[in-house]
Amino acid sequence: MDHSLSLHPATLQSQRVRRVLFAIVMGGSAHTLLCWIALQLDFFRGGDALFISLFSIIWAGHALFVTFMVLGLNRRLAEPAMILPLMVWSTTGLLVTAAVVDQARLCVMLIFFAIVQLGVLQASLRQFIFLAVYCVLGYAIVLGIVWIYWPEVVDVQGEWIQWALFSVMVLGVTLLAAEISNIRTLLGRRNAQLADVVERIHDMAVKDELTGFYRRRHAMELLGKACSQSARGAFSLAVAYADLDFFKRINDQYGHGMGDMVLQRFAEVVSRHLSGQDFAARLGGEEFMLVLPVSDEQEARHLVEGILMGMRSQRFAEAPDLTVTLSAGLAMLAPGENPAQVIRRADAALYRAKETGRDKLVLEARS
């Protein structure tokens, strides 16, 4: 089970590939070296030919795992880390070579504990139990096969004592892995809860709770970045100031609960029109700022006029006679202009819209 979900997918995949490569190179090399030493000491039945054949197959399987992950095919799996299949394959390689290695059989099987390390922070308790049972029973089957076909090379009593010792060690490691698995699961839950709390605190700090729009301070930071991007030619930038008409009258006549409902409805209308890099901010009360990266002035005007029309068409079941309108001022960022300057022009355009009848959009000409 992979608990690195907070990582970027490409980073997470790269981490998986590095982890598997390290495990294969270190564990596989130790296994190969030990069996090669057994071969030199004449403990490896079958000689050079069998040694080369077995380890060619084992390393071909390792290479297949790595290739599968490098190509990204593991991402389609329920367990993209592929920990259990890799541990089972590596354990199978141990069992096969243990059947042909005399005198050093237990040494070969002890590499199993290095294989377990691969999954100690990722595999589940159920996976560890499966792997432990597979290894212990597989080792017993190997001893039985050797006893039947090559009894002359087996010290029966000594081999089964070693098997019993190995089984106890596997049990101990499995219990330790179970404890680590429980701790890991608990930490995963705590980390998820902490991430949720941090996200909520961040949202409270930068977003208005009622509308979900950015607060003034964070919006000004984002506006500064948008102005810099626009100055580099990434897009044209429009800034709109908007004000709900006669909002105080709505609060006085229908109550603040109705006023909050109007603000939330306005936020819904705006959200339906904004996309991509657009964002909205609540500057205070019923005053809002819209920052709109656009291709040209006409696109910005159509977007804001769509919001005005959308708000004008809203109806409220709690107040059937209520119609809410919006006044807005729009300014396009001029070359060399800073955020404060374009904001002043948008605010001046909003003032003109309110002075000349409200429920309209006024475009502030560049000075």
Contact between residue 13 and residue 86 where contact means Cβ atoms under 8 Å apart: no
| 211 within domain boundaries | no
Beta-bridge partner residues of 316: 319
pLDDT one-digit tens code per residue, 96-119: 999 999 888 999 999 998 888 777
Q: Looking at the whole model, is its pTM more than 0.75?
A: no
Placement of tokens 């100031």 in the chain:
241
Annotated catalytic residue, options 159, 286, 337, 364: 286
Within-domain flag for 207: no
d(CA 15, CA 21): 10
Q: Do residues 234 and 187 share a domain?
A: no
- The Cα 362–Cα 366 span in angstroms is 13
Query: Is 149 inside any structural domain?
Result: yes
* Residues 6+ positions from 119 with CB-CB distance below 8 Å: 83, 84, 87, 127, 128, 131, 177
pLDDT digits (tens, 9 = 90+) for 11-69: 778 888 888 888 888 889 999 999 999 999 999 998 999 999 999 999 999 999 889 98
347, part of any domain: yes
Tell me: do 325 and 242 sit in the same domain. yes
Q: 356 by DSSP, 3-state: which?
A: coil
163 in the same domain as 14: yes
Clarify whether residues 75 and 220 are in a common domain.
no
The alpha carbon of residue 97 and the mean position of all alpha carbons in its chain are separated, in whole angstroms, by 40
Q: Where are the alpha helices (DSSP H) in the chain?
A: 9-40, 47-70, 83-98, 105-110, 112-119, 125-149, 156-206, 216-231, 247-254, 256-273, 297-312, 339-355
Q: Which residues contact 17 (CB under 8 A, 6 or more apart)?
A: 66, 69, 70
Classify residue 251: in a domain, yes or no.
Answer: yes
Q: What is the mean pLDDT of the chain?
A: 89
Residue 24: domain span: 9-201
How many domains does the structure of the chain reveal?
Answer: 2
Look up 268 and say whether it is catalytic.
Answer: no
In a shared domain, residues 159 and 226: no
Asked if residue 208 belongs to a domain, the reply is: no
Same-domain pairing of 96 and 128: yes
Treating both helix axes as pointing N-terminal to C-terminal, what angle do 47-70 and 83-98 enclose, rounded to 10 degrees?
A: 180
